[in-house]
A = this chain, B = another copy of it.
Amino acid sequence: MKKVVTIGGGTGSFTLLSGLKKYPIDLSAIVSMADDGGSTGVLRDELGVLPPGDVRQCLVALSDSSEKLRELMNYRFTEGGLSGHSFGNLFLSALEKIEGGFTAGVAEAAKILNVKGEVIPVTATDTSLKVKLKNGKILSGEHEINTSLAVGKVGVEKVFLDPVAKGNPRAREKILEADLIVIGPGNHYCSIIPNFLVNGIAQSIKKSQAKVVYNCNLVNKRGHTDGYTLERYVKEIEDFIGVDRIDFVTFNTRLPAKKIMERYNKENGELVSFEANERLSRRYRVFQADLLSRCGVENRPGDTLAATRSFIRHDAEKLAKMLMMVLELGEYESIIKDIV
C-alpha cells in the first residue's frame, strides 16, 4: 500500500482525512499541537494536558465507528460548569491522564474509535506558538494570533515555538517512509506553519523521497493572509521547510454561490488568487479542478465542528480523488480540468 502522510490541523485536516480514508492507502495524519483556545485552552490550563482539539478532529475523521460515536466526540456541552467543553476533548484528556502521556492516550483513543490509519501529534512538548510582528510586538498563543488582525497589517517578522518543541519520532519516521506528503488545507499561521517549527519535521521532509503536494486554501484569512496568492502560500511554506520541496499544488476553480460570497467577504476574506500567467516560471505543477463543497453548514447546538467550519470549504471526496490522482498520476487524468 502506498504511504500517505498528511500535515495540518483543525477542520482542514478533518475534511482531507474524511475523504482520504476511503482509499486503500497507508494513511498517517500529523497534527499541529499549538491550539490553546476554548475548551482545549481550559483543559491545558486546568489539567495540564496537551491540546486535544486538533487531534480529536483527525481521530473522528478517521474513525470507522458508528455515526453516533463520532457525533458524541464532537458534542459540546452548552450549560453549567461544563459549558464550552467538547466531549471528545474530555475523552482525550482523561485518556492522557490514565495512560500517563498524550501520545499513549491518542493511541488508546484510536483503538476505541476504531481509527483507520494513524493520528500522530507532531510533538509531545507542551509548547506555545508565538508571532513576532515587524513592530517588535510578540503575539502569544494560537488563540491570540488567530484573532489578531495585526498579523497581516503590521506583518510577521518571525514565527516560533516557545519552548522549542521536539519532533515526535513517529512523525519523523512516517515522513521519511512516505510516498506522498500532503500539506493543508488549513489556517496558514495557526495550523500549517506550526508543524514546520517543530524540531526535526522540516529536516525529515527534506530527506524524504516522497512527492509533496500542497492543498492551497480556498480563501485568504482577513488580517492574516490578505491578498495572498497561491504562489505566496507556497513560498512561505517552502521558506519554513527551508527548501523548495513542493511538487504539486491543488487549486479550486469553482466559484462559490454569490450569496455565500457576499456573506464571506463581509465576515472573512477573499478567494485566493492564482497568477496563471506565471505558469512558465513555476517549478511545481498546479492541478486545477472543482474542489468546492456544495453542502451548506448546519449550525446545530452542541455540534463543535459545524460552528468552526467556514462556509467556503473543500469537498472531502473531490479533494481526496484529486490527491489519489496525484499519487497514481495518470490513472485519474479524466478528472483533471487543467494542468498548468
Using a CB–CB cutoff of 8 Å, the interface residues on chain A facing chain B are: 42-43, 45-48, 65-66, 68-69, 71-72, 75, 77, 79-82, 85, 87, 90-91, 94-95, 97-98, 108, 111-112, 302
Task: State the Cβ distance, A320 to closest chain B Cβ, in Å.
Answer: 27
Instruction: Tell me which residues across on chain B come within 8 A of A90, comparing CB atoms.
Output: 77, 82, 87, 90
A80 to B81 alpha-carbon distance, docked (Å): 10
A126 vs B77: C-alpha distance in the bound complex, in angstroms? 20
**B97 pairs with A45, CB closer than 8 A:** no
B98 & A71 in contact (Cβ 8 Å cutoff)? yes
CB distance B98 to A72 under 8 Å?
yes
Bound complex: CA of A193 vs CA of B6, how far in Å? 57
Asked if residues A47 and B82 are in contact (CB atoms below 8 Å), the reply is yes
| Closest A-B pairs by Cβ, 3 of them | A46-B80, A87-B94, A75-B94
A94 with B77, Cβ < 8 A, contacts A46-B82, A47-B82 known: yes
Q: Does B79 contact A98, Cβ atoms closer than 8 Å?
A: no
- Identify A80's interface contact among B42, B66, B94, B302, CB under 8 A: B42
A75-B97, A98-B68, A108-B68 known; A91 vs B80 contact (CB < 8 Å): no
Q: Would A97 and B302 be within 8 Å (CB), given that A68-B108, A82-B90, A87-B90 are in contact?
A: yes
**Which of B69, B80, B85, B108 lies in contact with A45, CB distance below 8 A?**
B80
- In the complex, chain B residues whose CB is within 8 Å of the CB of A302: 97-98
C-alpha spacing A302/B95, complex, angstroms:
11
Task: Give the residues in chain B near A45, CB-CB below 8 Å.
Answer: 80
Residues of B within 8 A of A48 (CB): 79
* A70 CB to nearest chain B CB (Å): 11
Residues of chain B within 8 A (CB-CB) of A98 are: 68, 71-72, 75, 302
A80 surroundings in chain B (CB, below 8 A): 42-43, 45-47
**Docked CA distance A23–B98 (Å):** 30
